Structure 1
Amino acid sequence: MMVRMKLGALAAAALMPFAALSEDREVYAPGGIAMSGYDVVAYFTDGAPVEGEAGNAVIWRGVTWYFASPEALMSFEMDPEAYAPQFGGHCAYGLSEGHIAAPAPTAFFIHDGKLYFMHTDALLAAMAARLPEIVAAAEGRWASLDGY
């Protein structure tokens, strides 16, 4: 379910505790804003992190997602699963090791058409040759983590 928000409602939603917003597995959403406000569509279309705007927002999976443009918002609304980061946006390497780690918006990669994040740019560079192995291990751990 997606809900577009007006700016006043968006501010109120941002103040709600995360637990009140979450209806599914946790999405990395400090303050209730998914991926710290970065536009997840831009990782595919621009190949780079782009900050979204509160004026282009939608609620999906219990958190608010920002987009850089109305077009990006519309693309997400048409097929959110195609753009949403895997593992709720948490660091793929951390998950492969059995723990949750926050992502860095610049430390991203696209593997088999899916968006993934790492904890730091240095970690992404160091693990570049092992990304498919890391994704496979993280998939197994993500499904079994308690509370997620």
Structure 2
Amino acid sequence: MAHLQNLNETGVAIQGYDPVSYFENQPVEGSTEISSTHNGAIYYFSSQANKTTFDAAPSQYAPQYGGFCAVAVSEGKTFPVDPKSYIVENDKLYLFYNGRLGDTKPQWEAEGQTRKANADTHWENDDLTVVYPTVNY
């Protein structure tokens, strides 16, 4: 089953950040010269080694919940993210919104098990309200 993905207008995931770099605890922007496509999303990488790592196991490195804010998904909606607001937990990448409306990462940290269970249920059931940002959040 195909799920929604948080992509820019050209189909790029994580606003161009290298997904493997999150697992090295140093998220960096990738290069348009080094890319891969997974489930219809384009990922950029900061090195050929990171691309090779991703290509060997893309589902391990792609962000959870299509790259939408994990807290928002736990509430049954999609919302954009700040690619610098993240957690790698149990070898999975979770991204969060951090902007004018607040910072959602502390909510996940405080209620992680409940939030994850709710997010997993909403995601698996495609039970999400799509929020298209019309203003700069």
Q: TM-score, normalised to structure 2's length?
A: 0.83
Residue 35 of structure 2 aligns with an amino acid whose one-letter code is A
Q: Which structure: greater strand fraction?
A: 2
Moved more, 58-67 or 138-147: 138-147
More displaced, 118-127 or 63-72?
118-127
- Is the 2:69–2:97 Cα contact (8 Å) retained in structure 1? yes
Shift of 1:108: 0.4
Structure 2 distance, partners of 1:136, 1:126, is: 14
Shift in Å, 1:125: 2.7
Q: How does 1:1-148 map to 2 (within 5 A)?
A: 24-31=2-9, 32-45=11-24, 47-120=25-98, 122-145=103-126
Deviations 1:9-30 (A, max 9, x none): xxxxxxxxxxxxxx93222111
Name 1:13's counterpart in structure 2. Answer: none
RMSD: 2.0
Deviation for aligned residue 1:52: 0.4
For the residues of structure 1 that align with 2:111 and 2:127, how far apart are their CA atoms? 26
Whichever of the two has the greater Rg, that structure is 1
Which contiguous aligned blocks of 4+ residues in structure 1 show a shift greater than 2 angstroms? 145-148
1:90–1:100 contact (8 Å) kept in structure 2 = yes
Structure having the higher helix fraction is 1
Q: Which amino acid aligns with 1:57?
A: S
Q: TM-score, normalised by structure 1?
A: 0.77
Change (3 A) 1:126 1:96: closer
What does residue 16 of structure 1 align with? none
The verdict on how the C-alpha distance between 1:63 and 1:126 changes in structure 2, with shifts beyond 3 A counting, is closer
Q: Name the CA distance, whole Å, in 2 between partners of 1:96 and 1:107.
A: 16
Q: How far apart are 1:146 and its partner, in Å?
A: 5.3
User: How many positions carry a matched residue from both structures?
Assistant: 125
- Of all paired residues, the percent bearing the same amino acid is 30
Equivalent position of 1:14 in the other structure: none
